[in-house]
A and B are shown apart, each in its own frame.
Chain A
Amino acid sequence: MPVTPEILREVALTAEEYERAVALLGREPNRVELGMIGALWSEHCGYKHSRPLLKRLPSSGPHVVQGPGENAGAVELGDGLVAVLKIESHNHPSAVEPFQGAATGVGGIVRDIFAMGARPIALADSLRFGPLEEPRQQYLFRGVVGGIGWYGNCLGLPTVAGDVFVMPEYRQNPLVNAMCVGIAEREALVRARATGVGNLVVLVGADTGRDGIHGATFASVEDPERSHRGVVQVGNPFLEKLLLEACLEVLATGAVVAMQDLGAAGLTSASAEIAARGGTGIELDVALVPRREAGMTPYEVMLSESQERMLLVVRPERLDQVLEIFRRWELHAVVIGRVTDDGLLRVLENGAVVAELPVSLLTDACPTYVREARESPDIRARRQYDPRSLPDLAPSDVLPALLTLLRSPNIVSRRPIYRTYDHTILTNTVLPPGAGDAAVLRIKRHRFGIAIKTDCNPRYCFLDPRLGAQHAVAEATRNVSCVGAEPLAITDCLNFGNPERPEVYYQLVEAIEGMAEACRVLGVPVVSGNVSLYNETEGRSIPPTPVVGVVGRLADVRRHAGLGFAGEGTVFLLGPQSASLGASEYLASCHGVVAGAPPELDLELERRVQALVREAIQRGLVLAAHDCSEGGLLVALAESCVAGGVGGTFAIDELLAQSGRLDETLFGEAGSRVLVQVGPGAEGALLALAHAYAVPVMELGRTGGASFVVRGLLECSIAELREAWGAGIGA
């Protein structure tokens, strides 16, 4: 077959990669084979640029039951149960068709969880947009939020947590990262390993159509706008609900050897991966695949990304039992092939071979690249910026600045989003969205519960990717600790620009190093994840966005803390007593400056602060706990007052004396800082505990009344703060 540059471009392979494939295969691949190689050697499937780097992330620990390499990771909860977790991006489709792009992102991540034999119990979403006052961003925002809600609500899964950040750099490349958490019996976990020669390969769910062909390839090149909506798949949450229930029922029979979701690169990826993990081969006949339309070629069937499909390996003697369950759920399930021992993925059409490739060529031989890493001089210069060169805030400008920050899209209430997500279904939600720094769910009939949160401050990562990624890990785990849960595991979604550019590759390397270090010190392994590169348009990349999703465990789910101050009590600041304005929300919102170094982070102190907060909550000392991050101290105090519907009188003289600047004291940011409110009589116990953990602690004031008072500086009503903050995102 004459291979032209056009053909290679269509499958997104370089001439060198093509030569490598020919050399490994010992012959030229045909068109079907070339398409299959192109899809699996895409960045999206093959992790060409990230694979060598991902090895640096710690992935083991005492709680880990399943690390990276399967459909999702799993950690031990106790009583024989595990939490199964995974996050995945759907950025490129969402940029082109926000509603369906985001909806199918949810569908895909949920399949990853139940493919493990776990029942999905919660969703979380990490979203990034450009300025929301712009019409196109409104369209993307409403589409994405609408799509997530539509799919999750119909499926009957609560969407309980997430994070949103707005920066102009996301204009052309919004980010949609969906996380799902499931619960399984440890012994019932299913691995996606095709074993047992002669076992049958069954395809179940939606019929296969021409949608999404080359979606994986499309997700691995720049500029989604130059693509087209035709490659974006359309979701069917109703079908997914049937598939979910039927698959869990089938798994419970023990007739199924392995299960694999069909996602990017469809049947090609699913069959190759399941065979690779099993150390076997697979032979399948595309003529047996139920089609949505006539005249589809083997190429199209093998690369279709039609949603709501699952591949199973079934023991032949148990086939009837499996098919009967699917029939009862009114799902199409057909045998399309069998497991072989020759290590080949053999594709037939009515018995005639149309493609035959070594499984290892598809999954293991994908080239990896180590690129040149060089920091952008522009960013380095920006980091040198000294915020103290700005004039300090006048006392009379404190309230206007606070109101501006409370209205900032990165701080303002997320209620307009989570109100459109069902978050009470399944009757496990103990702390719903907005009530605490992380969501808390109970596990019925067990004493323990779990907490879920996603985080990443892309402004920090933009100005210092290594430190920013450490902050992402620290803040996500801190949020989980603030509700009283011990962080057990991380699932990460690494969103970056084009890694072939040295400035972007530098960000990727630095961010992964930073994450790895923070994970090691905080003792939280990364058990699953996803990489999304080429998030850029016309040479302008998104800020590095290593999103961290955390699952934590509360030993006693009744012992948790929300973020709203509850009645009268004393408020303490735990952690560093100094803060800085570099990379802060204050600089961006009040001065339009995105510059300066992000706050320093002492990971050892971070670990102690989190342990202290957890123990204080476990001991029942804490009425409320709130992470003090974007917007700084005053914003955190205002948020806890508004959320609790109670005022307070606070004093910052000592902090001000240390800093010398009002802006830094009130709105400066720092890692490892938590506000806690304790009830009358518990002050001494908290101070003693802080001392035992060697954590700096300072009394800030007392809650009560309906006024928000900072002595000598500010007095306003809680209603005024609520009006600003409560306007809600996107309003």
Chain B
Amino acid sequence: MRFGIVTFPGSNGDHDALMAVRLGLGQPAELVWHTERDLSAYDCLIIPGGFSYGDYLRPGAIARFAPVMEAVVREAEAGKPILGICNGFQILTEAGLLPGALLRNASLEFVCDWVFVRVERTDTPWTSRLASGTVLRLPIAHGDGRYYVDERTLAELERTGQVVFRYVDADGRVTAEANPNGSVANIAGVCNAQRNVVGLMPHPERAYDRLIGGDDGLQILASVLAVGLEVARGALRDVAE
């Protein structure tokens, strides 16, 4: 399964995503330059973390206008699995591919730590191999991670099952203390209505080896391989027919 990882000027999690897929998952992955207009060669896409364009205006606000984003939108509409991590999540919300917005952390400070998130939905390509309610331990590192939607949208997201990850304590309980940034309803990640586009603030691509603190992130990245298998089976069927 071929991963495309988009590099914007100022991306700094692109290399980590590349290493996580290559070293952690053993899959081929390539960096895609922000001027690329054709992403059809990739089976799935990662929009990585970092400070695209310095985040000087608002995180993701400039990157959403990069030439590559037209292709990202096209692939999203076509149903390709897309994962936005941290700044990538911010870019996808700015681009309107995911609902909500990411505001300054409630503490007004950048926060780097390890947190627990609970898997709320397993019907996305990025959580398909996980059991609902699984608690994962992942790193966070962001200054603007406070997920926000208004009450009506929140009710709608809960109803349609678009909340994919929630900050919890080690025992899987949703508590105020477990919420590192003041996100509404402890939301750590969401998906779009079609469920192929997922965004989250924690960094699964930094948790692919116990030596560096944990490998829970691999469970997210590996889930998408099931989609690859489906694609491969479909291709075999086509050949057989």
Binding site for B on A (CB under 8 A): 149-150, 153-156, 236-239, 241-242, 329-330, 418-430, 432, 442, 444, 557-558
Contact = CB atoms under 8 A, between A and B. Distances in A.
The size class of the interface chain B forms with chain A is 20 to 34
Contacts of B203: 424
A429 B114 CA distance: 13
Contact of B10 (A241, A420, A444): A241
Nearest to B49: A425
Given A241-B51, A419-B112, A424 B10 contact: no
A427 B206 contact: yes
Interface string B99-113: 000000000011111
Given A444-B19, A444-B23, A149 B54 contact: no
9 contacts: A238-B9, A238-B53, A241-B12, A330-B9, A422-B141, A427-B19, A430-B211, A444-B23, A558-B211
B56 A428 contact: no
B16 interface: yes
A155 B12 contact: yes
Contacts of A242: 9-10
A154 B16 contact: no
Nearest to B139: A424
Contact of A442 (B15, B53, B212): B212
Nearest to B52: A238
Contacts of A236: 54
A561 B44 CA distance: 39
Contacts of A558: 211
Contacts of B110: 149-150, 153, 420-422
B199 interface: no
A238 B54 contact: yes
Nearest to B12: A156
B15 A432 contact: no
B156 interface: no
Nearest to A445: B23
B213 interface: yes
B51 A427 contact: no
Central interface residue in A238, A329, A424, by most chain B CB within 10 Å:
A424
A442 B209 CA distance: 11
B37 to A, nearest CB: 16
Given A236-B54, A444-B23, A424 B211 contact: no
A425 B51 contact: no
Contact of A238 (B10, B111, B141): B10
B212 A419 contact: no
A425 B54 contact: no
B20 interface: yes
Given A155-B12, A238-B54, 16 more contacts: A150-B110, A153-B110, A154-B55, A238-B9, A241-B12, A241-B51, A242-B9, A420-B111, A423-B112, A424-B141, A424-B206, A424-B213, A427-B19, A427-B212, A429-B212, A444-B23
Contact of B50 (A156, A427, A557): A156
Interface of B: 9-10, 12-13, 15-16, 19-20, 23, 50-51, 53-56, 109-113, 139, 141, 143, 203, 205-206, 208-209, 211-213
Nearest to A422: B141
A395 B100 CA distance: 59
Contacts of B23: 444
Given A420-B110, A420-B112, A442-B211, A426 B16 contact: yes
Given A153-B110, A154-B51, A241-B51, A427 B208 contact: yes
A206 B212 CA distance: 36
B212 A425 contact: no
A153 B9 CA distance: 15
B32 to A, nearest CB: 14
Contacts of B12: 154-156, 241, 425
Contacts of B16: 425-427
B111 A419 contact: yes
A200 B19 CA distance: 37
B13 A425 contact: yes
For the complex of A and B, 4 pairs with smallest distance between CB atoms = A156-B12, A238-B54, A422-B141, A154-B51
Contacts of A420: 109-112
A238 B51 contact: yes
Of A239, A423, A425, A432, chain B has the most CB atoms within 10 Å of the CB of A425
Given A420-B111, A422-B110, A422-B112, A428 B212 contact: yes
A156 B208 CA distance: 18
Contact of B212 (A154, A238, A424): A424
Nearest to B217: A427
Nearest to A159: B112
A210 to B, nearest CB: 21
B64 to A, nearest CB: 16
Contacts of A238: 9-10, 51, 53-56
A329 B55 CA distance: 17
B112 to A, nearest CB: 5
Interface centre among B55, B112, B206 (most CB of A within 10 A): B112
Contact of A427 (B20, B55, B112): B20
A292 to B, nearest CB: 16
Given A155-B12, A424-B139, A425-B206, A237 B211 contact: no
Contact of A153 (B141, B211, B213): B141
Which residue among B15, B23, B205, B212 has the maximum number of chain A CB atoms within 10 Å of its CB? B212
Nearest to A242: B9
A558 B12 CA distance: 26
Nearest to A331: B9
Given A429-B213, A430-B212, A444-B23, A424 B54 contact: no
A238 B112 CA distance: 20
Nearest to A244: B12
A429 B209 CA distance: 11
